[in-house]
Structure 1
């Protein structure tokens, strides 16, 4: 079991890098395929569509299979489709390959969260999830800038390199990742719909998933529109914005790294409550700061809190069940994408409607308070909430 956190980190680092890779390359990819910016966004959306639609099916199916095999299959396809993306010969082929990569990522990534909850000892679950979370945050912090640098010679290079890295990780998974058989007694098989119905009927499930979704709306609103605020009100150029976003990513990574120690000392419930209070304080004041770096500093603090809380939230969701953890992981992923989509829809008008960052920060403040209420109502503010 010692290798599970490291392997989980590697999987999430590569999946995270691939997820975030296309957005900064859109101008170059638009020129490569001769498409206008209004259509280029589909190269990002195709991946998200493939991921969400597949996750809803792959999650319940994986609960009836050995997760190691599902993870290996997903990573094997992921490395091929990612590398092949670098060889795309047209806009249509690019969309098809991004869709296929999203499908593969949706098969592989949720297995990490489910397998950690299933194979790791109880006291090591949150630290292992924090290690996997660090893979995602480091992908945003270092992986994406590295991909942009690789694209200087050719926009094909980042995809080929990530695909090659995924192939190496797939080999490591085959060699060292343990078998993770189904948790249901006798490997009983149930229909996809019945697994979601059973999960919905689990005590406290609606409150916890609702809290997670509401939290992600505010979280992604801040993440999506912080750069626009920096550019509009503080006149940061692209280099300044990139530096500011790296600082925010560093805060997120720091939180993921120190989070397990905080949780071990304070417990999950107190950590969640204290983190939510920190969010409230930041979002109630950040729009009033007089300088750009004060704003960056406060948001970096919020992102540090996010790095601490994300593994706690995932563990709270996984603790709802012992037999449908793939379903839980898949649903959490879909809710995260849904939250980011809703944030993109309402965050822009709010940023434009109110001065400074007030529109977005008040949205994040409100979602934090609503999420905190839902966490409390679903028995999550104790140190060790009982499983469903």
Structure 2
């Protein structure tokens, strides 16, 4: 079973690295293509837009297909489109290839979450989920900085490296993974829209995904231009930006590792409330700090807090209805990437027209405060309420 755990970790590591890679490369690519700061963020947003839109389709379809086939197809498409990013000779060509990479990721990442319960013993599912999530955190801690360092030779090198490494992972998945065909009651011709009906009908699900959208909108907006802000404020070259990003990723990795401990001590609702309250404060004050070391410490704390919160929230969402886990996982992925798409767009507008990075900090703090209010008001993290609502959605 360790082979599956390692495979899922590495797949999420590659997807996470590719997802976050553009942020530290943004100043270099902006110069390479000669585009304004206001639209440069679309090199991030194009990837998340493709992933957000097609995840809405990929999830319901995958609940009725062989998950192994869907994962392999998505991983192959992800590999090829990422390699093509390294050959992009214009801003719009880069955006096109990033959209294709996002579409491919939309068919790949949700299959990891949905496949774990299918191939792992029940006692190992929770641990494997945590290890797979740690792949995303490790991507920020190691993948993104390594990509930044590789880019010092040529900006194309990180894309080629990720693409070819993903091809090797696709070959490994083809060899290792068994078929995961749907059960008799899942492989029917139920329409895509009808698979979402239990979630649409659930007030708890509506609250949960609304709060999840705001959580990612706030964190994604701040992260989109952190590389640009560090280059402008502290005059950092791309290699040093990558080094700072490494500390941010280690924060996420640390948070994901201690998330279960914090939950046991505080409970889901208290852990999320305390963490998001801290984030509101840190996002507000961080843009006004003039010392790079202090900024790094604050951002490490932010990402460690996010690393604690995200597994708790994702666990609450995936427990809403076990019979449509693929749909829920894909909707969560779509919500995250939709928020990051909006965040990249808002980040460019706010950075240029409303006072630079300080306006991004205020926007992020407001989003986090609203998200916390919806989480608490909607009872998404309450165990008793969640069980009741799951029963009601299961019978819808």
What is the TM-score normalised by the length of structure 2? 0.81
* CA deviation profile, 1:132-169 (whole Å, cap 9, x unmatched): 22222322332233234434555554333322211221
Residues 77 and 104, structure 2, Cα contact 8 Å, conserved in 1: yes
The equivalent residue for 1:175 is 175
The equivalent residue for 1:73 is 73
Give SS of 1:381's match.
coil
Q: Distance in 1 between matches of 2:29 and 2:230?
A: 26
What is the TM-score normalised by the length of structure 1? 0.83
**Mean Cα displacement is larger for which, 73-82 or 87-96?**
87-96
Shift of 1:23: 5.2
**Mean Cα displacement is larger for which, 278-287 or 253-262?**
278-287
Give SS of 1:37's match.
coil
* CA deviation profile, 1:22-75 (whole Å, cap 9, x unmatched): 55556766788xx43258766545433432332221111011112222112211
**Mean Cα displacement is larger for which, 260-269 or 210-219?**
260-269
Residues 35 and 91, structure 2, Cα contact 8 Å, conserved in 1: no
* CA deviation profile, 1:161-210 (whole Å, cap 9, x unmatched): 32221122123223333544436735333101222233211341100000
Shift of 1:358: 5.1
Give SS of 1:165's match.
helix
Q: Distance in 2 between matches of 1:349 and 1:84?
A: 28
Q: Distance in 2 between matches of 1:253 and 1:74?
A: 26
Measured at CA, do residues 154 and 188 of structure 1 come closer, stay the same or move farther in structure 2, by a change above 3 Å? same
Measured at CA, do residues 210 and 125 of structure 1 come closer, stay the same or move farther in structure 2, by a change above 3 Å? farther
**Mean Cα displacement is larger for which, 165-174 or 60-69?**
165-174
Residues 200 and 206, structure 1, Cα contact 8 Å, conserved in 2: yes
The equivalent residue for 1:8 is 8
Q: Distance in 1 between matches of 2:268 and 2:117?
A: 15
The equivalent residue for 2:100 is 100
* CA deviation profile, 1:223-264 (whole Å, cap 9, x unmatched): 2344555566x6453365444333222211221223233335
Measured at CA, do residues 91 and 212 of structure 1 come closer, stay the same or move farther in structure 2, by a change above 3 Å? closer
Measured at CA, do residues 30 and 288 of structure 1 come closer, stay the same or move farther in structure 2, by a change above 3 Å? closer
Measured at CA, do residues 264 and 126 of structure 1 come closer, stay the same or move farther in structure 2, by a change above 3 Å? farther
Q: Distance in 2 between matches of 1:154 and 1:301?
A: 31
The equivalent residue for 1:301 is 301
**Structure 2 residue 6 is matched with structure 1 residue 37:** no
The equivalent residue for 2:115 is 115
Give the number of equivalent residue pairs.
385
Shift of 1:13: 1.0
The equivalent residue for 2:201 is 201
**Mean Cα displacement is larger for which, 90-99 or 154-163?**
90-99
Q: Which runs of 5+ in 1 are unaligned?
A: none
Measured at CA, do residues 340 and 160 of structure 1 come closer, stay the same or move farther in structure 2, by a change above 3 Å? closer
The equivalent residue for 1:321 is 321
The equivalent residue for 1:359 is 359
The equivalent residue for 1:58 is 58
Q: Distance in 2 between matches of 1:93 and 1:296?
A: 34
Measured at CA, do residues 149 and 276 of structure 1 come closer, stay the same or move farther in structure 2, by a change above 3 Å? closer
Q: Distance in 2 between matches of 1:29 and 1:114?
A: 35
Residues 248 and 296, structure 1, Cα contact 8 Å, conserved in 2: yes
Give SS of 1:204's match.
helix
**Structure 2 residue 337 is matched with structure 1 residue 337:** yes
Give SS of 1:274's match.
helix
Measured at CA, do residues 29 and 359 of structure 1 come closer, stay the same or move farther in structure 2, by a change above 3 Å? closer
The equivalent residue for 1:237 is 236
Q: Distance in 1 between matches of 2:354 and 2:79?
A: 44
Shift of 1:269: 3.4
Q: Distance in 1 between matches of 2:358 and 2:157?
A: 40
Shift of 1:112: 1.4
Q: Distance in 2 between matches of 1:215 and 1:376?
A: 13
**Structure 2 residue 388 is matched with structure 1 residue 374:** no
Q: CA RMSD in A?
A: 3.5
* CA deviation profile, 1:84-132 (whole Å, cap 9, x unmatched): 5445677776555443332222111111123335655667555433322
Give SS of 1:185's match.
coil
**Structure 2 residue 185 is matched with structure 1 residue 185:** yes
Q: Distance in 2 between matches of 1:113 and 1:283?
A: 30
